[in-house]
Amino acid sequence: MSPVPVAPHPAVSRTGDWAGLVVGHRLVAGVDEAGRGPLAGDVVAAAVILPADAALPGLADSKKLTASARERLAVAIRTHALAWAVGRASPAEIDVLNILHASLLAMRRAVEALHQSPQFVLVDGNRCPQWPYACAPVIGGDARVPAISAASILAKVCRDADLACLEQQYPGYGFAVHKGYPTPMHLEALARLGPSPVHRMSFAPVRAAAAQCLPESGGPR
Identify whether the C-beta of residue 90 lies closer than 8 Å to the C-beta of residue 56.
no
Mean pLDDT of 38-56: 95
**Cα separation, 128 vs 16, whole angstroms:** 17
pLDDT of residue 1: 40
Residue of 70, 76, 71, 102 lying closest to 87 (CA atoms): 102
For residue 217, pLDDT beyond 70: no
Mean pLDDT of 29-36: 98
pLDDT class of 4 with cuts at 50, 70, 90: low
pLDDT of residue 3: 56
E strands along 19-174, which residues? 28-34, 43-49, 83-89, 120-124, 135-138
The two beta strands, 43-49 and 120-124, are: unpaired
Domain topology for 19-167: Nucleotidyltransferase; domain 5 (3.30.420)
**Cα separation, 33 vs 50, whole angstroms:** 17
pLDDT of residue 221: 42
Residue-wise pLDDT tens digits, 99-115 = 999 999 999 999 999 99
User: What single string gives the DSSP state of each residue in 94-127?
Assistant: HHHH-HHHHHHHHHHHHHHT-SS--SEEEEESS-
**Cα separation, 139 vs 162, whole angstroms:** 27
Residue 15: left if φ>0, alpha if ψ -120 to 50, beta else—which one?
Answer: alpha
Angle between helix 67-80 and helix 146-169 axes, rounded to 10 deg: 120
pLDDT of residue 109: 98
Residue-wise pLDDT tens digits, 74-89 = 999 999 999 999 999 9
Residue of 219, 168, 216 lying closest to 193 (CA atoms): 219
pLDDT of residue 214: 67
Q: What is the mean pLDDT of the chain?
A: 93
* Alpha carbon distance, N-terminus to C-terminus of the chain: 49
SS3 for 40?
A: strand
Rounded to 5 degrees, φ, ψ at 199 are: -80, 155
Read off the pTM.
0.92
SS3 for 4?
A: coil
What is the Rg, in whole angstroms, of the alpha carbon atoms belonging to the chain? 19
Q: Where are the domains of the chain?
A: 19-167, 170-213
Identify whether the C-beta of residue 95 lies closer than 8 Å to the C-beta of residue 200.
yes
Residue type at 150 in one-letter notation = A
